[in-house]
């Protein structure tokens, strides 16, 4: 698992929107308030049951509010054999 800064991610997505798959692990009510375009909502408590929806070889950026839940999920995905996992430093508010 690696950290990725919001500024770097924003630049990469502007240049090539397909560079990263965005996985939002917040709750639906949080996602409704604010989200990143084209992100997939998968609340933290559903990740283990929905792993088949994710590609193990794809570059995945895990996003939450402040970066703590996403870091936990990123670590979990790394342990499950996902090879390109990034945590959005500071979360969606950064």
pTM check: above 0.85? yes
Residues serving a catalytic function are 64
Residue 93 lies in a domain: no
Structural domains in the chain (count): 1
pLDDT per residue over 43-68, tens digit each?
A: 999 999 999 999 999 999 999 999 99
Does residue 94 lie in a domain region?
A: no
List, in sequence order, every residue forming a beta bridge with 59; answer none if it has no partner.
Answer: 84
Assigned domain for 73 exists:
yes
**Local confidence band at 94 (pLDDT 50, 70, 90 cut-offs):** confident
Decide if 18 is inside a domain.
Answer: yes
14 domain residue, yes or no: yes
- 23-41 residue pLDDT tens: 999 999 999 999 999 999 9
Q: Does 71 reside within a domain? A: yes
Domain span at residue 74? 2-88
* CATH code of the domain in which 23 resides: 3.40.250.10
Pairwise CA distance, residues 22 & 13, whole Å: 10
Please, which pLDDT band fits residue 93 given cuts at 50, 70 and 90? confident
Query: pLDDT tens digits, residue range 60-91?
Result: 999 999 999 999 999 999 999 999 999 999 99
Measured distance CA(47)–CA(41) in Å, rounded = 10
Query: What is the dihedral sign for C-alpha 10, 14, 19, 20?
Result: positive
Residue 55: the pLDDT is 96
Closest CA to 80 of 44, 50, 56, 46: 56
């Amino acid at each position: 698992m690696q950290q990725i800064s919001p500024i770097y991610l924003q630049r990469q997505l502007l240049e090539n929107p397909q560079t990263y798959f965005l996985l939002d692990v917040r709750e639906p009510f949080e996602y409704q308030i604010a989200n990143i375009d084209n992100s997939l909502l998968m609340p933290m408590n559903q990740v283990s049951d929905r792993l088949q929806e994710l590609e193990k070889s794809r570059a995945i950026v895990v996003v939450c509010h402040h970066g703590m839940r996403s870091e936990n999920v990123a670590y979990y995905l790394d342990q499950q054999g996902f090879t390109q996992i990034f945590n959005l430093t500071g979360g969606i508010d950064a």
